[in-house]
Amino acid sequence: MKNLVIFASGSGSNAENIIRYFADSKDVTVVAIFCNVAGAGVIDRAERLNVPSELFSREDWKTGHHIDDQLSHYNPDLIVLAGFLWLFPERLLAKFPHVINIHPALLPKFGGKGMFGMHVHEAVVAAHETETGITVHWVTAKYDDGAPIFQARCAVTAQDDAHAVANKIHELEMMHFPRVVEEVLKDIAQKA
Ligand code: GAR
């Protein structure tokens, strides 16, 4: 059985979609949700879906006190960042090299510090882009910088505001992300 740990800071719709996708899997299980925001929607979702959640502080994140041991306890084969907004530190990447992130734009466009959630869609509309999409990529210690694994695209029309773009991106994420996670896990297993 492969262990998946998800990091999320917000509503958690991607986390929930991934948990549901693997709910009946004999090969993959979501063992925990790690969250840095007290009261985030993802914590309620985890509870409803019977997945343990671990809340951690900025101090934990910086020092590694508690969190490194907690993470080791879950023995993740893959860590998935699904709307997680802090930089993933070298310290953890050295221990857990298999970390992927989903970004709601076609990287390298509209990435980097401060580019998350609605900020991304607002920037896409302001730049009069005619398409946008999602990128799943390997995580490095820089924002949105690692090698891309998967992209999917959608059109942006002149009528689309940032909310319309957000809806299109949400659809793409729901459609593709769990399957991409599954493929990455298969690749990791093959190379092991
Ligand atoms: C998703 O759209 C994800 O791509 C984005 O945050 C949203 C989280 O939604 N991530 C970033 O912007 C990272 N830079 P969710 O909490 O409902 O899954």
pLDDT for 46: 98
Q: Per-residue pLDDT tens for 159-180?
A: 999 999 999 999 999 999 999 9
* pLDDT given at position 118: 96
State the DSSP H helix or E strand holding residue 136, giving kind and residue range, or none if neither.
strand 131-138
Query: Is the whole model's pTM more than 0.85, yes or no?
Result: yes
**Residue 66 annotated to the active site:** no
How many domains does one find in the chain?
1
Residue whose CB lies within 8 A of the most ligand 1 atoms, among 6, 7, 9, 13, for a mutation test: 13
**The length of the chain, given as a count of residues:** 192
Residues ≥6 apart with Cβ < 8 Å to 89: 61, 62, 141
> Which of 17, 20, 101, 103 for mutating ligand 1's site (highest number of atoms within 8 Å of CB)?
103
Atom number, ligand 1, closest to the C-alpha of residue 103: 4
| Boundaries of domain holding 119 | 2-191
- Quote the CA–CA distance of 106 and 120 in Å, as a whole number: 10
CATH number at residue 162: 3.40.50.170
Q: What contacts 176, CB < 8 A, 6 or more positions away?
A: 134, 136, 150, 152
Q: What is the pLDDT of residue 26?
A: 96
* Local structure of residue 151 (DSSP, 8 states): E
pLDDT at 186: 95
* Residue 155, SS3 per DSSP: strand
Residue 191's pLDDT is 87
Residue ranges of the chain with per-residue pLDDT less than 50: none
